[in-house]
């Protein structure tokens, strides 16, 4: 069984956060054409940033396809849980 190496301080996470941020910024630089202007949708990069930071800093595992799939499943379950209502109370919309 793998031993989990948990970094308990933000300071321990900073190098991982910085490296991942630099990776994404370099990717964006490659997307910009020679005229120096580009429109980038940053929302998809939030998971691309937070996923590797969390998996590497908290669990000391690389952000591979298995971990990425687990993150996607957690995201879907969160969406379903937020939309689910176990029961409805008549008139609750007026409260």
Q: What is the DSSP letter of 90?
A: T
Question: How confident is the model at residue 10, as a pLDDT?
Answer: 72
Using alpha carbons, list the distances in angstroms from residue 25 to 29, 45, 74, 86: 6, 10, 26, 43
Question: How confident is the model at residue 87, as a pLDDT?
Answer: 67
Q: How does DSSP assign 49-86, residue by residue?
A: HHHHHHHHHHH-----HHHHHHHHHHHHHHHHHHH--S
Question: How confident is the model at residue 18, as a pLDDT?
Answer: 92
Q: Among 7, 1, 45, which residue's Cα sits nearest to residue 25?
A: 45
Question: How confident is the model at residue 19, as a pLDDT?
Answer: 92
75 in Cβ contact with 68 (< 8 Å): no
CA-to-CA distance for 18 and 23, rounded, in angstroms? 9
Question: How confident is the model at residue 56, as a pLDDT?
Answer: 85
Q: Determine if the pTM surpasses 0.85.
A: no
Question: How confident is the model at residue 7, as a pLDDT?
Answer: 47
Q: What is the mean pLDDT of each run of 10 residues along the chain (95 residues)?
A: 54 86 92 84 86 84 88 88 74 78
């Amino acid at each position: 069984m793998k031993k989990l190496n948990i970094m308990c301080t933000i300071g321990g996470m900073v190098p991982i956060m910085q490296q991942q941020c630099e990776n994404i910024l370099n990717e964006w630089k490659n997307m910009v054409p020679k005229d120096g202007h580009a429109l980038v949708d940053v929302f998809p990069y939030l998971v691309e940033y937070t996923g590797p930071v969390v998996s590497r800093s908290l669990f000391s595992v690389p952000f591979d396809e298995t971990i990425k799939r687990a993150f996607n499943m957690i995201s879907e379950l969160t969406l379903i849980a937020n939309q689910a209502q176990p029961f409805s109370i008549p008139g609750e919309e007026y409260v």
